[in-house]
Amino acid sequence: MTTRTLAAAIAALSLAMLPAALQAQEKADAKPAAAPAPEYKPNSASKSFTGTFGGRAMRYTATVAEQVLKDDKGVAKAALVTTAYIAEPRDPARPVTFLFNGGPGSASLWLQMGAFGPKRVAIPSDARDDGAPPYPILDNPDSILDVTDIVFIDPVGTGWSHAIADTDPKDYWGVSQDAASVARVIRQWLSENGRWNSPKFLGGESYGTTRSAAVVNELEGGYNDVALNGVILISTILDFAAGADTEGNELSYITNLPSFAVTALYHGKASAQSAAAFAEEARRFAIGPYAAFLLKGQKASAEERAAIRSELARLTGLSEQYLENADLRVTPNRFYKELLRERGLTVGRLDSRYTGKDYDNAGEGPDNDPSFYGIDGGYTAAANAFLRGTVGYQTERDYVTIGGVNDWDWKLKGGRDTNAYLNVAPYLGRALRENSQMRLFVAQGWYDFATPFFAAEYSLSRTGIPQDRIAWHYYDAGHMMYVRDEDRRKLAGDVRSFIQAR
């Protein structure tokens, strides 16, 4: 073989081997394919019970279950735990009511174990501390299960609800994000349980009323509607400017004044025939002479100032000297400390019937809220004992009662200037205008400073909100009016009538 022939043969052999070599190199350089995410298996537990509610004996099933939210590729992103109480035999013609608490960051144990669930925890009804366990877990004859099936929802970061795998829980922590996830759970639950044509009610407490308005917008704001028969607002906060204790915001002094008055009356620092009558006196003064005085700022006359100071002292139980020192503008935090200072006591924020004893009597605000530490132990123990022990839900996760959510996104989705002024009441106004049979139920405690009753009245009386389908109810307790036995029965009866009147 000649040299030229040998070279040609070697070149041909090299070209023949080149594709195989390139393929081998590509395989060596390629990263291993990612393994598909394992299928998430939802956790659940069910148990059957019997009980008597609203005077009706019945069987029902309690089901604690994870509702899994997936992305558009079918990957599980979050699991929201629902606790459903369904009457047996099942009837799709029965109403179904979806309920949650607020926070944001609060689980649904408060409404579930305190007001509407078939079991309740018994804590002192007269504004005393709940002490230490064991706490009685009793049948709740005031439950509304006789007129509606009930589904309690815990948003991500509350109760046992959580983000899955590497999903950031903050993806669900915001007014609009949270509402979208809760609305998805409702749609999913309706589909899985065959309840799309059932009468539907939605409700929440505290920030849960904010969530209610935002969820209504998610459910009824487009053309793929989940139409609602009614919305239940308990301790309402919709317009966050109405109660914002911020320097320069005069509106909060107006909306808090009636709450000051009824609290002073309860503790013997003022006199009137009733809380309702005194509240009306305070409303008229707040929206009239006091509002006019505040809007004048430093241009108000000395004579007007003296008249306002005198009437404020009568209504609030605070001294004229203290009111003058505060420039006739008392924040709730100062009021909690000052009202009963001479007795060495503070009053509560969630429920100003409660009193507490601080480290000393010198500060301008209380050390803590006696109306919260007076109830939290009993509710936490009851939720864990009943749902884990009785129903049988098994998990290694801690049950987060409140406070498991941070860095909340308060911006609303869409709309002009929504980032500067957080007000979700227009969502309810639109739903009322576009759904002729939807109604609102509003429950307010006289002694609630977290969501003052006059601020709720203000927010729901604005332009664009039909007034003829709003039912107002008032209770002789605070933020969680159902901790008082008489008001739990009254609240349950009022809501029962609201549902039955559809």
pLDDT, tens digit, 9 for 90 and up, residues 60-96: 999 999 999 999 999 999 999 999 999 999 999 999 9
The predicted structure's pLDDT at residue 222: 78
Per-residue DSSP letters for 132-168? SS---EEE-TT-GGGT-EEEEEE-TTSBT-EE-TT--
Give the whole-angstrom CA distance, residue 471 versus residue 166: 44
Residue matched to tokens 């669900």:
172
The predicted structure's pLDDT at residue 3: 47
CATH of 44-241+376-500, one of 3.40.47.10, 3.40.50.1820, 3.60.9.10, 3.30.2350.10: 3.40.50.1820
The predicted structure's pLDDT at residue 18: 46
Phi, psi of 307 (to 5 degrees): -65, -40
| pLDDT at residue 184 is higher than 60 | yes
| Domain span(s) for CATH 3.40.50.1820 in the chain | 44-241+376-500
| pLDDT at residue 288 is higher than 90 | yes
Q: What is the mean pLDDT of the chain?
A: 91
Percent of the chain at pLDDT exceeding 70: 91
The predicted structure's pLDDT at residue 324: 97
Binned at pLDDT 50, 70 and 90, residue 362 comes out as very high
Give the whole-angstrom CA distance, residue 89 versus residue 255: 47
The predicted structure's pLDDT at residue 92: 96
Mean pLDDT of 339-356: 95
Burial group, residue 359, by CB count within 10 angstroms (0-12, 13-18, 19+): exposed
Binned at pLDDT 50, 70 and 90, residue 411 comes out as confident
| pLDDT at residue 462 is higher than 70 | yes
The predicted structure's pLDDT at residue 6: 45
The predicted structure's pLDDT at residue 25: 54
Mean pLDDT of 416-445: 88
Those residues with Cβ within 8 angstroms of residue 213's Cβ, 6 or more apart along the chain or in another chain:
231, 238, 424, 425, 427, 428
The predicted structure's pLDDT at residue 23: 54
Mean pLDDT of 313-324: 98
The predicted structure's pLDDT at residue 13: 42
| pLDDT at residue 9 is higher than 80 | no
| pLDDT at residue 229 is higher than 90 | yes
Percent of the chain at pLDDT exceeding 90: 78
The predicted structure's pLDDT at residue 140: 97
**Encoding tokens for residue 274?**
């009733």
| pLDDT at residue 17 is higher than 70 | no
Mean pLDDT is lowest, of 32-36, 227-231, 252-256, 493-497, for 32-36
pLDDT digits (tens, 9 = 90+) for 89-129: 999 999 999 999 999 999 999 999 999 999 999 877 776 77
The predicted structure's pLDDT at residue 133: 85
| pLDDT at residue 11 is higher than 50 | no
Give the whole-angstrom CA distance, residue 428 versus residue 215: 10
| pLDDT at residue 422 is higher than 50 | yes
Q: What is the pTM of this model?
A: 0.90
